[in-house]
Structure 1
Amino acid sequence: MAYVGRFAPSPTGPLHQGSLVAALASYLDARAHGGRWLVRIEDLDAPRVVEGADRTILQQLQAMGLAWDGDVLYQSSRHAAYREAFDTLRQAGAAYPCACTRKEIADSILNLRGRLPSGELPYPGTCRNGLNGRPARAWRLRVPQGRTRIVDRWAGLVEQDVESEVGDFVLFRADGMWAYQLAVVVDDAAQGITDVVRGADLLGSTPRQKILQDMLQLPNPRWMHVPIVVNAEGQKLSKQTGAAAIDAARPLAALEAAWRHLQFEPFQAADVTAFLAEATRRWARRWQIEKFPA
């Protein structure tokens, strides 16, 4: 199968150094395989979308020399596809309505476990067997029992008991929006994505996505989750933690910094074109990509 990769930013602001690391890694992997590299704008979360951020992101990618193939796909144009996938799950009995608020979920976990875990709160299954007369707020996936295993090209074998560690996760949110997990799976399949290269902060979501792919009889791509960039306080570099936009006027310096973060030795390049050509060769050597000419 011909390689198809993608970079899928959310238009909540300009690209920062952390998002450039993910973009560069996915670009190099696609080019080293002689494949296509697509760009998808994940603009489903309308309240967080910043007007014009999509255009800024595309301009930044162009300034970095990261040229994509084909048209840019916007998730906001894909609601019918998400509805079709959701209806398939619901008709199979794999989706159910949920009336719980976040506070109620937290209270239930506190009562069951005596403490709240750090990070994501696992859904305790309160509405699995009915709403008891309460109105539905969201829809959840009925997660199967057992451990889900994936092999990540960077992290190796990853296992997660999604039922106990995450619980039945949301497909359709209480605010009337499609959940990220459903949308990304549907879009990756529709675009023929064979390889997902992205930040390690999304590694924990991957078992959920594999479960959805299997339930919807969609192919599993290969996954690679690269190290994320953190700030001085050890927090993931993001727009929420005040990450500065990459300097499009100094693209070579930004690319070189992203390259070093990907744990490669620095090298000298005259310009962006020369840098990307040499970086692609070195990426192919590290990952033993045989299709790439020496």
Structure 2
Amino acid sequence: MSTVRLRFAPSPTGYLHVGGARTALFNWLLARKQGGTFVLRIEDTDVARSTQESVDAILQGMEWLGLDWDEGPFYQSERFPVYKEFVEKLLAEGKAYKCYCTPEELEERRELAMREGRKPKYDGTCRNRTGELPDRPYTVRFKAPYEGVTAFDDLIKGRIAFNNEELDDLIIQRSDGTPTYNFVVVIDDATMGITTVIRGDDHVNNTPRQILLYEALGYPVPRFAHVPMILGADKTRLSKRHGATSVMAYRDMGFLPEAMVNYLVRLGWSHGDEEIFSRDDLIEKFSIEAVGKSAGVFNPDKLLWLNHHYIKESAPERLAELLVPFLKERGVDPAAGPRLPLVVKTLQERSRTMVEMADGAIFYYKGDFAYEEQAAAKHFVPDAAPLLAALAGKLEALADFSQTGIEALFKEFIAYKGIKLGQVGPAVRVALCGGTASPGIYEVVEALGREETVARLRRAVAFIAG
């Protein structure tokens, strides 16, 4: 295994968002491509908002997408002694200091700076204080350089530079003793040996402050890649108003994980004109430098197209397993009816999601359905009854009850009767499925089986007669 180490570090304050999932995917792919290590870290220092339910949702989303991690999950809430140790180290080396300014004082100076047209950053009141104020609460600030430039070569955006005079003395420990985000991220990435940080581009402005902390602590600075955000169709940041944003919501809507992975990776990354990628393809072809600089636009129709492709290409046995919970949600017991893989085969070409497949499969398991009124009126005419009855008798005696044998019987039957398939086929379809929109007749007959097919044809004959 190489020395390359990447990480995904979500905050457990909600579900796994599709944007977070894409960031996790990019990190996972690069780690797998380079034979490196993929680390999962849960950034749960926001005790008020972090929940175990959210942790479970994130882990479930990662597992569903197949993004397995090599180390972790590590929890920041369990590492407070480590952060405290590094705060003390910076204080002892004179690279950090205690700030006794009250929130009211800080706000007053901020407002004054804005009135005078100055940048409203901390003015360094306590930066060079020599004595301590033992009875007053304090924060700990990092002593940032006032001069020079902090720059880095972003793997996606290129060279990015910040004048140090624009940065202020970052608070690394709050007055209640808890560490701050920018500080703990650096400590975690440094002590965990992270070599490449791929994250959303909303973190670009945090990067110079973090680089200065790496340098002050004597750790190598990792390479950074800031991924553009995902937008909705209206070119605003993807949110609930654009539809589902939770990865697991897409599972519940009947999407396959491989379709979601394929779609997410193409939101910003490309490899020529290719659209369809297996997992092995992605590992082989992915490069972070090929991620575009502009935001990706989430297109539900494209995701549906990909999902339809993967449903058509998947093994019926695997889809049958996935279909079971969707059928049970609809009150259908798949054990009490045709073999599910056979049913799936008849529906794969027609189903864009597992939800659509489940809806399309119901008629196989509930033979007492009502006929569609218009379809019955049009096709259940008196002349259809003797044809359906004769066909039922033929199918009951058929030796080769395969699609091939069934198709041959139908051709022989219409030839013998001197009719066309269109004169009996729609009536058969309504009898077996309840309406005219269904999979192919021969597929349906094979999946239903001899006994159920004959029973449904005779039920239709009785309906016409009645």
TM-score higher than 0.5 here? yes
Please tell me whether the aligned partners of residues 4 and 37 of structure 1 are also in contact (alpha carbons under 8 angstroms). Answer: yes
Counterpart residue number, 1:283:
286
1:5-84 correspondence runs (5 A): 5-84=6-85
Looking at structure 2, the residues matched to 106 and 64 of structure 1 have their Cα atoms a distance apart, in angstroms, of 46
Looking at structure 2, the residues matched to 253 and 267 of structure 1 have their Cα atoms a distance apart, in angstroms, of 11
Q: How far has the Cα of 1:237 moved from its partner?
A: 4.7
Aligned length: 279
Give the 3 Å change call, closer, same or farther, for CA 161–234 of structure 1 in structure 2.
Answer: farther
The partner residue of 1:158 within 160, 167, 174 is 160
For 1:96, what is the secondary structure of its paired residue? strand
For 1:19, what is the secondary structure of its paired residue? helix
1:24-59 CA-to-partner distances (Å, cap 9, x unmatched) read 111111112121111000111111202321121111
1:81-230 correspondence runs (5 A): 81-102=82-103, 104-114=105-115, 122-130=121-129, 135-145=136-146, 146-162=148-164, 164-230=165-231
Please tell me whether the aligned partners of residues 137 and 173 of structure 1 are also in contact (alpha carbons under 8 angstroms). Answer: yes
> Please, which moves more after superposition, 253-262 or 213-222?
253-262
Q: How far has the Cα of 1:175 moved from its partner?
A: 4.0
For 2:172, what is the secondary structure of its paired residue? strand
| Aligned-pair Cα RMSD in Å | 3.0
1:89-114 CA-to-partner distances (Å, cap 9, x unmatched) read 00011111223355543432331242
Looking at structure 1, the residues matched to 46 and 218 of structure 2 have their Cα atoms a distance apart, in angstroms, of 26
Counterpart residue number, 1:291:
none
Give the 3 Å change call, closer, same or farther, for CA 63–115 of structure 1 in structure 2.
Answer: farther
Looking at structure 2, the residues matched to 5 and 242 of structure 1 have their Cα atoms a distance apart, in angstroms, of 30
1:177-212 CA-to-partner distances (Å, cap 9, x unmatched) read 211111111111221111111111111111111111
Give the 3 Å change call, closer, same or farther, for CA 285–122 of structure 1 in structure 2.
Answer: closer
Looking at structure 1, the residues matched to 65 and 23 of structure 2 have their Cα atoms a distance apart, in angstroms, of 13
Give the 3 Å change call, closer, same or farther, for CA 161–59 of structure 1 in structure 2.
Answer: same
Give the 3 Å change call, closer, same or farther, for CA 238–19 of structure 1 in structure 2.
Answer: farther
Looking at structure 2, the residues matched to 236 and 107 of structure 1 have their Cα atoms a distance apart, in angstroms, of 34
Gaps (5+ residues) in structure 1?
288-294
For 2:94, what is the secondary structure of its paired residue? coil
Looking at structure 1, the residues matched to 159 and 20 of structure 2 have their Cα atoms a distance apart, in angstroms, of 24
Larger radius of gyration: 2
* TM-score (norm. length: structure 2): 0.55
The structure with higher relative contact order (CA 8 Å, sep 6+) is 1
Looking at structure 1, the residues matched to 116 and 78 of structure 2 have their Cα atoms a distance apart, in angstroms, of 41
Identity of aligned residues (%): 35
Looking at structure 2, the residues matched to 81 and 127 of structure 1 have their Cα atoms a distance apart, in angstroms, of 25
Please tell me whether the aligned partners of residues 155 and 289 of structure 2 are also in contact (alpha carbons under 8 angstroms). Answer: no
1:131-157 CA-to-partner distances (Å, cap 9, x unmatched) read 996823311101012211111111111
Looking at structure 2, the residues matched to 178 and 123 of structure 1 have their Cα atoms a distance apart, in angstroms, of 18
1:185 maps to amino acid = V
* TM-score (norm. length: structure 1): 0.84
Q: How far has the Cα of 1:220 moved from its partner?
A: 1.0
2:40 maps to amino acid = V
The structure with the largest helix share of the pair is 2
